[in-house]
Amino acid sequence: MNSPKQLIEGFRRFRKHHFAEGRVQFQDLVQFGQTPKALVVACCDSRVDPALVLDCAPGDLFVIRNVANLVPPAENQGHYHGTSAALEFGVRNLGVQHIIVLGHAQCGGIHALLEGSVDKEKSFIAGWMGIADSARQQVERMHTNASSEVRHRACEQQAILVSLENLKTFSWIRERVEHGELALHGWYFDIERGELLGYDAATQKFEPL
């Protein structure tokens, strides 16, 4: 499923099943608007579609996807902040109650961060992955002699924690969390083992959900 022709055929099946057969109440979603309860920050990786992995329907999830599912810190320097703008809309306009940072195994962005496989002068990816540089530094410090697999997994998970911290640099997120109106979650989809792990602040580990 990747040629435009196949994608158009896919849309026709979607329209038949979801509109004609009413599997999803699109009329309600159109008439009353979207009211998703959860916002997911996921990676662009084609294998980790949040709606598919979490078995959700249109209207269920407000999804932000970027390279390595990173949340930048709040800043206002006149740059183009796509992720921050989407967070603002999800939190302030839609009033989501949960934000889930959904990392995953075999992340290409984290691979580039750890292996330095992109040209920092010319690459948008290198600049973007700088958000997670503190995760890289911690992994290099704590897993100096570990295998590539262990280092990558540790960095994929540590980067989720960096994003959770960065979420709290947005005042309208921090205030809602403090008032109990919004909960932040760090999840890790292990595409090799078919498992979903969640960060447990008590054990400071990612545990199966």
- 156 counts as binding Zn ion under rule CB under 5 A: no
- 129 counts as binding Zn ion under rule CB under 5 A: no
Write down the H helix ranges in 43-197.
50-53, 82-88, 108-115, 124-129, 133-142, 148-167, 171-178
Instruction: Kindly identify the residues of this chain, within the stretch 97-126, that bind Zn ion according to CB under 5 A.
Output: 107
Task: Give me the residue label for tokens 């099946």.
Answer: 13
Q: Single out the residue of 39, 41, 43, 71 in contact with Zn ion (rule: CB under 5 A).
A: 43
Edge-to-edge order in the sheet of strand 195-200: 61-66, 38-43, 98-104, 183-190, 195-200, 205-208
- Span of 1-9, 18-26, 40-48, 173-181 interacting with Zn ion by CB under 5 A: 40-48
SS3 content of the chain, % helix, strand, coil (to 5): 45, 20, 35
Give least dist CB 119 to Zn ion, A: 20
- 45 counts as binding Zn ion under rule CB under 5 A: yes
Give least dist CB 104 to Zn ion, A: 6
Give least dist CB 130 to Zn ion, A: 16
Can you give the binding site for Zn ion, defined by CB under 5 A? 43, 45, 107
